[in-house]
Amino acid sequence: MEAPQVLHNKKTILLVDDDATILRFVAGCLAVNYDILTAKSGEDALQQSKDFKSEIHLLLSDLQMEGITGIELATQITVQRPKIKVLLMSGSRQGCLCSMRDGIFYLSRSLPRNYARWLRASSLPTSLDSRLRNPT
């Protein structure tokens, strides 16, 4: 399957989650401002990254997935695409304790019950814009 090519000037996010409900919801929230590529596994994400010819600005991935984990995926994709930003998310209530190198950030997915309203009202879209504009 050939990856779609971006035809406008939006930033592109590769969104990866093995939970189809989360994948659809987050993609729907972000699609207003970004071009979204979705993948249901780390393996699928690696193939999309390989096939997609335009720039992918951000990898937004679940931390814990069957097969390739979010950290393993981030490591492999940053080899393919050294300029890509990485944001890992997890629904784990235990939090995340891991060493993140520069350019890899962690977002807890354990969010308020009214997730959609919270996401739209939060600073996440502004934070993403800021991170994608400033390559630090």
Q: Positive or negative CA dihedral for 55, 25, 123, 94?
A: negative
What pLDDT does residue 1 have? 46
Domains in the chain: boundaries: 12-133
Burial classification of residue 134, based on how many CB atoms lie within 10 Å of its CB (0-12 exposed, 13-18 middle, 19 or more buried) = exposed
Q: Which CATH superfamily is domain 12-133 in?
A: Response regulator (3.40.50.2300)
pLDDT of residue 9: 73
Asked if pLDDT for residue 17 goes beyond 90, the answer is yes
pLDDT tens, residue by residue, 47-80: 999 999 999 999 999 888 999 999 899 999 999 9
| Residue 117 pLDDT | 53
pTM comes to 0.71
